Structure 1
């Protein structure tokens, strides 16, 4: 019998939700202000995943850390896929599609308001529809509570003011109750919701005979004696054979929120996750026979589009880039000097295990460009050109004059310590001082490519390669 090891998605796939439609599993995650957002992942066994599309293709025009697309819920109803999420500055929104690969509808606001987050719909057996959500203290002034609304079955809007169904301030030891997922099983209503914060929290479930409560609670997954801190916030899914599983995240700082898969069974009317409520390191693959797969990381830039692993830090302008024939061309466009604030940084998730990243870089005309690691702090290795001289730069190192293309790269070691290197023709050599990658605002660090300047120059990247060290 084949087994898997956790995490099954070892990178920043934050706040995952998962469903099964027939023999296929689909998953989506938070993306905040990254564009495109709401990636759609597909699997046949809950272990091997690939990216097949995105639910949203636009966002903010500037970088706004911690804003945008918060924890989503993915559902399939009436022949369509639905993704609900909370934008804490706008309200609860959704998109839908007949095909998870798209096209997806334009976002629709089902419940406007500030501080409304982490929504999840439920279409009941009698045709009624409901919506549960949490609250963000940073906007609403309150949190640690869950509200349920009646919702129009077509998702056009909510039908009442909402009912406070769980006030966790009244539950001993509870804090930061959020991320609810609403289900119905055997006539009972279930809210799966994490509490305690992302770094040290746990997963609870709540059960009631009415969707409006009263609910009784139980903690069903916690770190216990394992090294999996804060195991919580995810989705419950079953397999075609009738087994039950729970996917959740673990916060790993600069690596972001990596995704674990826990076996789940029912005992005495309550779910039991992992090994008697503690995360497992490995287990049998839920659906045997699947082909090994993982979200793309390397990119040969064959075109005509960017690989689905890439996203911009805010809305992109089509003039920023072109791709094809093995080359990504980035225009050296104006923007903030600080890479953390620059919309035109093209990034992808930092792998959750040691790896080496390389790309071949040519700088034509004036400007600067390079390979960066961006979180709450940022650093890069790259090229700068002013006048007739092109130089290799990295942190505080003395610039080195170069001619022609240069291979630049980074090795990300244990603890996300980054060592940059470059090859100007004599083999790869370390450049600059080691850099400690850091998490961003509720996200892990990203590997980024950028080009900056007054628009006169362009950077050409070839063969972006990510080699995982097993």
Structure 2
């Protein structure tokens, strides 16, 4: 695992892996961050940091998608979209949208949980990207955007008065900003609501996920009228579409902005920008916070040099796993709601019960995934088949809208190592390579280069039996980057079990 050791400065992205649609807050001397989880479960991943640079996952705020029967299968592009996190009256609130249902709220006294069951605050199609605000007068409001795919409208931000416990609306919704009336604005979404010096502030991105910018709006009343200023854009940097995130004060006189950059197959990676408030009352971000242009910094001094390196700065999310007690670590997520029958027995290694029927890994629910690192990586895992019959298989996949998998499968003639790929629209998988096995087990190494090209090396009894060139290039999923995924599958008539051990991952930062 590659660590960044210089404690006096940081390099963007601070997490070079999929952290979609981040939002963050400070409570006391600690910082808390939440991100979208879309179709994966558990959902709403939460991180904690002491210095805004090194983040440690502390858990999840959502066990799985609701209604549970709907999310028993992967619902790519659905589920949990951009959430917000706030702390009010001694409790943490995470407010999240499901674009097919509405806005939901979960609460906890501790980010590590337990979290409450989801409560529906607003029902409706295409209501997305919510953020609450409790103002200085004791009133509560919710700002949100719209998804055209579900509601028929977009590029609009709406404010709804709500009760302080975020249980229900207490007044009618009001459209407060219409992006169609702003020159050049498209896809205005992802708002975050704040109050500062008596004014109401909405931080919101526009221009699209991969190509957009960050805008700040301000008004003397929560319902407007709002004036605006663009405060962060790509400029002449390599950071495309820098936007959508959170303003955080560090408690020591400093201000910061956490946001994402869409890196395609690697997902929406996390950046940290310095921020300052100008004499004209508007915020400046990135290089502009130091007097330069309003574009991202690539390297910058840390907020808390006196704290040193309180946590190892690992710039990825994927982690090794020995599957202690036969269970996956918390850094894995399922591609659908967890199936209580999916994990078989206690060690050694992780036993996964096979997905019945079907040959498309993308549609399988019993699949465990970690985000693909945003830099070259090498993953290793031991794979074995148990309780096999013809057609059983187990493997590791680089999974997106297209995928490659490598592992072990059984045939009418015995066992073989296999590497196969599937692209969108393919009726069946295409086999790249096979090699016979005397027993149903092998060691698989997956190497992903800087251009997301995938090379596979399969070893049996310490002998290399398959070594592919990077003939497959990983692709992102639906609103998510590609993942490293473990799975097993087989016919309904066979109780297939895949056994995984000694998963490791190394990155070249």
Quickly name the TM-score band, shorter chain normalised: over 0.9
SS of the residue corresponding to residue 275 of structure 1 reads: helix
- The alpha-carbon distance between structure 1 residues 380 and 304, as it changes in their structure 2 partners (threshold 3 A), is closer
Where structure 2 has 5 or more consecutive residues not aligned to the other structure, the ranges are: 1-6, 66-70, 289-293, 421-430
TM-score (norm. length: structure 2): 0.90
Deviations 1:313-337 (A, max 9, x none): 1112111114754501011230532
SS of the residue corresponding to residue 374 of structure 2 reads: coil
* Equivalent residue number for residue 291 of structure 2: none
Instruction: Describe how 1:188-203 pairs up with structure 2 within 5 A.
Output: 188-203=199-214
The one of 480, 494, 499 aligned to 1:443: 480
Total equivalences in the alignment: 470
Instruction: Describe how 1:343-354 pairs up with structure 2 within 5 A.
Output: 343-354=365-376
TM-score (norm. length: structure 1): 0.97
* Equivalent residue number for residue 174 of structure 2: 163
- The alpha-carbon distance between structure 1 residues 468 and 191, as it changes in their structure 2 partners (threshold 3 A), is same
* Equivalent residue number for residue 301 of structure 1: 323
Cα distance in structure 2, aligned partners of 1:401 and 1:111? 56
Give the superposed CA RMSD: 1.5
Q: 1:456 deviation in Å?
A: 1.6
Q: 1:432 deviation in Å?
A: 6.8
The one of 30, 33, 43 aligned to 2:49: 43
Instruction: Describe how 1:321-470 pairs up with structure 2 within 5 A.
Output: 321-322=343-344, 324-364=346-386, 365-366=388-389, 367-387=392-412, 389-395=414-420, 396-404=431-439, 405-428=441-464, 429-431=466-468, 434-453=471-490, 454=492, 455-470=494-509
Where structure 1 has 5 or more consecutive residues not aligned to the other structure, the ranges are: none
Are 1:144 and 1:176, in contact at CA under 8 Å, matched by a contact in 2? yes
Q: Check if 1:319 corresponds to 2:319.
A: no
Are 1:305 and 1:323, in contact at CA under 8 Å, matched by a contact in 2? no
Are 2:275 and 2:283, in contact at CA under 8 Å, matched by a contact in 1? yes
Deviations 1:38-66 (A, max 9, x none): 01111101111111110101111111111
Instruction: Describe how 1:1-150 pairs up with structure 2 within 5 A.
Output: 2-59=8-65, 60-150=71-161
Structure 1 segments of 4 or more deviating over 3 A?
293-296, 322-326, 426-429
Deviations 1:391-421 (A, max 9, x none): 1011223431113431112101012111111
Deviations 1:62-116 (A, max 9, x none): 1111111000001011111111111111001111101100111111110100010
Instruction: Describe how 1:141-290 pairs up with structure 2 within 5 A.
Output: 141-267=152-278, 268-276=280-288, 277-288=294-305, 289=308, 290=310
Cα distance in structure 1, aligned partners of 2:481 and 2:311? 28
Deviations 1:159-188 (A, max 9, x none): 122011001100000000000000001111
Cα distance in structure 1, aligned partners of 2:264 and 2:252? 36
Deviations 1:266-321 (A, max 9, x none): 11201100002100001111122223244451111114642111111111211111
Deviates more, 1:288-297 or 1:187-196: 288-297
